[in-house]
Amino acid sequence: MKKTLTVALMIAAFSISCTSSQNKSGETDKTAQVQAEAPAQAEKPVQTALTEEDATGGSITLTKNVFLQKVWDYENTPQEWVYKGDKPALIDFYADWCGPCKIASPILEEISNDYAGQIYVYKIDTEKERELAAVFGVRGIPAFLYIPVKGQPVMMSGIARTKEDTKKMFAENIDKYLLTL
């Protein structure tokens, strides 16, 4: 019998992450679907649907419905991974209360601009989209799913010790898992 999804879990040697069992520290749930987490990016809201602007960069927030349409319809093909995208993707599983997630967010915005037109950078709020997090077995955040156009996705969690090393980690993983043939 085929597994519902083959996703390799790889944890960076110097990873920093939050576990899903951590308390939200009393923060209130925001009603806005998504806002950029970095102060420098605050004036540019995160995209929530795929448009022609995707080629210009910027993270795209995924809801379950958009995920089913644009990434993988696991409800209709639960036994087989079938990526629906036209270019590779990187999905950031995050929560607003997670410190390492807040560090990764502006770095991923830079990455989305650096690789504009080559990959999609998606974000999934694990507090709002618990089912999507459960589908991939996300237990610690931030977690990152690297999705090549063909082949199986690769899951990793945590960030490096510095912002520079974290950006380097993303670039190396994108080059290794998404842009090589």
What CATH number is given to the structural domain containing 77? 3.40.30.10
Catalytic residue among 34, 62, 95, 101: 101
What confidence tens digit (pLDDT) does each residue in 46-104 have? Answer: 444 444 344 457 899 999 999 999 999 999 999 999 999 999 999 999 999 999 999 99
- Residue 26 maps to a domain: no
Q: State yes or no: is 98 an active-site residue.
A: yes
What confidence tens digit (pLDDT) does each residue in 115-143 have? Answer: 999 999 999 999 999 999 999 999 999 99
Catalytic residue among 98, 124, 141, 154: 98
- Residue 101 maps to a domain: yes
CA distance 2 to 162: 39
- Residue 3 maps to a domain: no
Residues 6+ apart with CB under 8 A from 165: 14
CA distance 60 to 131: 18
Strands 120-125 and 89-94: parallel
pTM of the entire predicted model? 0.74
What does DSSP assign to residue 53?
A: G
- Residue 23 maps to a domain: no
Residue type, 151: G
Work out the angle between the directed axes of helices 99-114 and 163-173 (0-180°, nearest 10).
50
CA distance 26 to 85: 37
CA distance 32 to 82: 31
- Residue 131 maps to a domain: yes
Full domain range(s) for residue 107: 8-18+37-178
- Residue 27 maps to a domain: no
- Residue 32 maps to a domain: no
Overall domain count for the chain: 1
